[in-house]
A and B are shown apart, each in its own frame.
Chain A
Amino acid sequence: MLVRDPGCTVLLRVGGVSMQGAGIGDGDLLVVDCGLEPRPGQVVVARLGDGFTVKRLVRWRGGLALAAAHPAYPLLPLPADGDHQLLGVARCVIRRC
């Protein structure tokens, strides 16, 4: 249920609260499937510059953008020529009770 294909699944540790509205909290474990093509509407992991970021992929002004699930964080447009890369789709969150 957590892992579709172990070969292209990775675990990442979440740092920050910008995805709280989507149920992803600081310190949670994120199960990411790099074998699925990210589609708008999904929570995705992207490489932005030299770090990994988790956000919701949305359509924006004819292109794509990354949206936080927290009012304090701005929308991050993804220009076609920007230094970024969509890596995979977040499938599940693992949190210690």
Chain B
Amino acid sequence: MVLATVLIDGNNFYASCEAVVDPAVIGRPLVVLSNNDGCIVSRSAEARALGIAMGTPYFKVRAQLERHGVVVRSSNYALYADMSQRLMSTLERWVEDLEIYSIDEAFGLLHRPAGGDLGDWGRALRRQVLCHLGLPVAVGIAGTKVLAKIANRAAKVDPARGGVLDLAAVADVEALLETIAIEDVWGIGRRLARWCRLRGVAHARALRDMPAGELRRQCGVVGLRLQQELQGHACLPLISVAPAKQETCVSRSFSEPVQSLAQLREALATYLVRAAEKLRQQRQRAGAITVFARTSPFAPASFYSASATVTLPLASNDTAVLLAAALPLAERLFRPHRALAKAGVLLQQLQPDDLLQHHLLVPTTPEQQRRRERLMAVIDGLNRRYGRGAVQWAACGLQPAWAMRRSRLSRAATTCLAQIPRVLAR
């Protein structure tokens, strides 16, 4: 039995999710903007056809988008995360082992039947995802992760392949590898790509066949592994259980510059509350907190950036404890006349929450500890049930002027009862 590696990813994932919950945008050009309505991060096929580039700042193309009647949406992460979870739970049933690689991308492992082509399997999977979830995906099948990435890419580029490609069924693999530019090989960064280009290694086939010694001298065992994978020897295993997180970060750009200490404190409190929530979800405690803030990098002359860290005597995931420790740090970040554009909170020294070390100087009885844990669980439960912010910490402020701009947000159509779409009985 031979193992096959597959890479499944969503086509224009964010844009596709928007079309699933709002049929009015089907067939229309649509773009999704990054946080703060900054740049274009996802485009429907129709928007691509208009020549709208990925990563373009929204303000630069606003007039052009309006002229072409392009639908513009803010990032709706509640919707995308829910659709992602549905996608992954479907994929889990189709493969023997699944590694969730990103919000819209997963590697899978399955046995290849003797001499068998998995193309039909891929097409059936693609059909089911489209039918059950309404999401178009591409399926690349090969012997290794790096090759599965390439197969996936080739499946998308050539419309004749219908979004599915099994490399084992390709007659001329050499020719296909020559169509994959070196920059598009998974694991090749910008610096390495330049180095390859200088040596005349311009595509995946050339990288596969270049002298191993030369590659090893430049980029060590990482490069060798990549080459081995291109040759069909799997050496990047699937990571199906996500490793425990070492750090948790929440940071955002402000919709308008923050100029007062009170506002900075509110913003840091808001991010910390969110980070603490994540921490409890991960069943971890933090031993240290770093807060940071900076001005806009687009005004380099007056650029200012600062961070401050506090170590907790006793690791905690209690929002009140974290707030009390971190908020005084705001004063160390704040400078009058420095208009801050972004701030964030980083929780560090994370440890599992069942291994709590006690501290002589911070006496807490197990009973007190349990009560705090119950309180946090109740707050998290209420916020899950009635929407984030149902129970809020006063330190976060009520109507923040700096809050992220999301002026074109679609509804939380699959996760919030009050926002589910209507079905007409007329």
Contact = CB atoms under 8 A, between A and B. Distances in A.
A10 B426 contact: no
A40 B129 CA distance: 23
A14 B26 contact: no
Q: Count chain A CB atoms within 10 A of each CB in B132, B134, B414 and give the residue with the most.
A: B132
A11 B24 CA distance: 18
Interface in B71-92: 85-86, 89-90
Contacts of B426: 15-16, 18, 53, 73
Given A7-B90, A8-B90, A10-B414, A30 B423 contact: yes
Interface residues of A, number: 33
Contact of A7 (B23, B24, B86, B131): B86
Contacts of A7: 85-86, 89-90, 132-133
A15 B421 CA distance: 10
A52 B23 contact: yes
Given A50-B26, A51-B23, A15 B134 contact: no
A12 B425 CA distance: 11
A87 to B, nearest CB: 7
A11 B89 contact: no
Given A47-B23, A51-B23, A13 B134 contact: no
A12 B422 contact: yes
A41 interface: no
Contact of A15 (B85, B414, B423): B423
A78 interface: no
Contacts of A32: 423
A8 B135 CA distance: 11
Interface string B409-426: 000001001001111111
A54 interface: yes
A58 interface: no
Contacts of A19: 425
A53 B425 CA distance: 6
A43 to B, nearest CB: 10
A16 B26 contact: no
A10 B98 CA distance: 24
A14 B425 CA distance: 7
Contact of B425 (A26, A29, A47): A26
Contacts of A6: 86, 89
B424 A53 contact: yes
A92 B85 CA distance: 23
Interface string B382-426: 000000000000000000000000000000001001001111111
B186 to A, nearest CB: 28
A68 B423 contact: no
Contact of A13 (B26, B85, B420): B420
A11 B424 contact: no
Contacts of A30: 423
B425 A17 contact: yes
Contacts of B26: 47, 50
Nearest to A15: B422
Nearest to B89: A7
A73 B230 CA distance: 61
B422 A13 contact: yes
Interface string B13-27: 000000000011010
A53 B423 contact: yes
Given A8-B132, A34-B132, A54 B24 contact: no
Given A8-B90, A17-B425, A18-B425, A87 B417 contact: no
Interface in B21-68: 23-24, 26
Contacts of B417: 11, 29
A46 to B, nearest CB: 9
Contacts of B24: 50-51
Given A7-B90, A47-B23, A50-B26, A12 B133 contact: no
A49 B25 CA distance: 10
A7 B425 CA distance: 25
Instruction: Sort A-B residue pairs by CB-CB distance and give the 10 closest, nearest first.
Output: A16-B425, A50-B24, A16-B426, A8-B132, A12-B423, A52-B423, A18-B425, A7-B89, A19-B425, A15-B422
19 contacts: A6-B89, A7-B85, A7-B90, A8-B90, A10-B414, A11-B417, A15-B422, A15-B424, A17-B425, A24-B425, A29-B417, A34-B133, A49-B23, A51-B424, A52-B421, A52-B422, A52-B423, A53-B426, A73-B426
Interface of A: 6-8, 10-20, 24, 26, 29-30, 32, 34-35, 45, 47, 49-55, 68, 73, 87
Given A15-B423, A16-B426, 16 more contacts: A6-B89, A7-B86, A7-B133, A10-B414, A12-B421, A12-B423, A13-B422, A15-B424, A18-B426, A32-B423, A34-B132, A51-B23, A51-B424, A52-B423, A55-B425, A73-B426
